[in-house]
Structure 1
């Protein structure tokens, strides 16, 4: 058992300024900062986000903020003159200026033998991929929590599982990746919709979790909802264990791959689903 108190843990935390400077939305920088900072348990970034920085007047304000709160600077800026101004200022302040995409872009250019397209926000153009993502989000919202089961054949993937196995958030994450994802809950008082076992086009994936963990999550949900005692069986561990066992048998009967989400984040579950989809396209699907 650790002897470090919460107060000591707070004092041990290193807070540092990070300026995210982008001529686009800044989503790439935010994601990379989150992934990198997660590797340093006692370091917490204080984010200063400057997105859509496309003029010298906007950059002047950014440089002033960096001077007021010096720290790491991560940037994605296409304009060479603005990049140079940012780099010079950071050198004067003796703070790192990190062009996060440069190593990737240079490697791609060398491998492909092609020049880069120097276009701001090129990844956010209203192209086919953009409209595919919008269509996927619309589809996923319309097919959430067992809605429109008669239309599941048009899905790319269908997630099935008992209550609180992260079906909806996983589907929404997949939808933002352009995947038309539907989800169907398994309810102990009802049989699964017959359409599920008849699906041919979509990949059907069963989601399961530890009964103990599910029971805890459900109990917390009931507390937050101020539910009455009549709903207590919803979180009863024996009842949950029976639900999970029944669900696993159902998945096995239909030959569906399964994912145990007990120790997985939504992003990790979605990544596993994408891997299963890729394997299916290649003719190799396995239980997970």
Structure 2
């Protein structure tokens, strides 16, 4: 008698409407974080950004009525909020103001009134220009460029090829952190400038040789020199690279992060935690 095979349940698709009087980034991030906990459910996103007039809200509501689903919103204007909430109630569509619990908690704790300014986090203030400066710095100090100018950095990431140095630096830069990265190349010594830094935190990134070999193997298609390609993805040579990198990090007492099973966001979060701890010492 044959045992029936279990079938993976088909994904459940559902509409989610993200209504914001700003860019909608907050809603998008919260949706992704929440939806990731429901593997069998796939949200169909409808994004309505910079909704700041009644006409814009009316048009948004017409689209919500045409494709009913969850409504997540960040709308400061009380009249537009009321319009959205009443219409969603009439449509029997769940509408959640995702920031209300945080805003209310801050109000109670601080004893201050909310400013009620839409998109306040995106104003052209000092924090904004700091983020732009960090992005400029990170772009010009990627992959070992301008090693003579590493001292202004907040963090310098060091690691062998394919340890996610560049994407992690870009993520950090978007958080206002000046991040540079220096690759460790098997055929060359690390730049001497790396060993005399005072301001930046130098952090070593490592990954399992097996994972690196897998990633590099998928990248060698565009390499012309066959011998170089084989060496680049050779497991034994990668093991030697990783061991040499770990010894370098230990010698200089640089904190190390294993990125084998980490996303860029998780690696960046670990780095931000280390930077915060250092600043609070």
Matches within 5 A, 1:199-214: 199-214=197-212
Equivalent position to 2:164, from 166, 169, 174? 166
Q: Distance in 1 between matches of 2:205 and 2:11?
A: 37
Question: Which residue in 2 is equivalent to 1:265?
Answer: 263
Equivalent position to 2:274, from 261, 264, 276? 276
Equivalent position to 1:180, from 162, 178, 195? 178
Question: Which residue in 1 is equivalent to 2:71?
Answer: 73
Q: Distance in 1 between matches of 2:279 and 2:123?
A: 28
Question: Which residue in 2 is equivalent to 1:194?
Answer: 192
Tell me how far 1:12 sits from its aligned partner. Answer: 2.2
Tell me how far 1:226 sits from its aligned partner. Answer: 5.6
Q: Distance in 2 between matches of 1:27 and 1:227?
A: 41
Q: Does 1:252 align with 2:253?
A: no
Equivalent position to 1:229, from 210, 226, 229? 226
Q: Distance in 2 between matches of 1:278 and 1:53?
A: 36
Question: Which residue in 2 is equivalent to 1:105?
Answer: 103
* 1:167-216 superposed Cα distances (whole Å, 9 cap, x missing partner): 00000000000000000000000000001111111000000000000000
Question: Which residue in 2 is equivalent to 1:62?
Answer: 60
Say which SS state the counterpart of residue 153 (structure 1) adopts. Answer: coil
> Structure 1, unaligned stretches of length 5 or more?
284-288
* 1:4-53 superposed Cα distances (whole Å, 9 cap, x missing partner): 4xxx53x5211110000001000000000000000111111000000001
RMSD of equivalent CA atoms: 1.2
Question: Which residue in 2 is equivalent to 1:120?
Answer: 118
* 1:125-166 superposed Cα distances (whole Å, 9 cap, x missing partner): 100000000000000000000000000011000000000000
Say which SS state the counterpart of residue 44 (structure 1) adopts. Answer: strand
Taking structure 2 as the reference length, the TM-score comes to 0.96
Q: Does 1:83 align with 2:85?
A: no
Tell me how far 1:282 sits from its aligned partner. Answer: 3.0
Q: Distance in 2 between matches of 1:159 and 1:249?
A: 16
Say which SS state the counterpart of residue 192 (structure 1) adopts. Answer: coil
Tell me how far 1:280 sits from its aligned partner. Answer: 1.6
Q: Distance in 2 between matches of 1:282 and 1:21?
A: 38
Taking structure 1 as the reference length, the TM-score comes to 0.94
Q: Distance in 2 between matches of 1:98 and 1:80?
A: 15
Q: Distance in 2 between matches of 1:226 and 1:183?
A: 23
Q: Distance in 2 between matches of 1:149 and 1:82?
A: 52
List 4+ stretches of structure 1 deviating above 6 A: none
Question: Which residue in 1 is equivalent to 2:45?
Answer: 47
The number of residue pairs the alignment matches comes to 277
Question: Which residue in 2 is equivalent to 1:286?
Answer: none
Q: Distance in 2 between matches of 1:135 and 1:31?
A: 24
Q: Distance in 1 between matches of 2:165 and 2:101?
A: 36
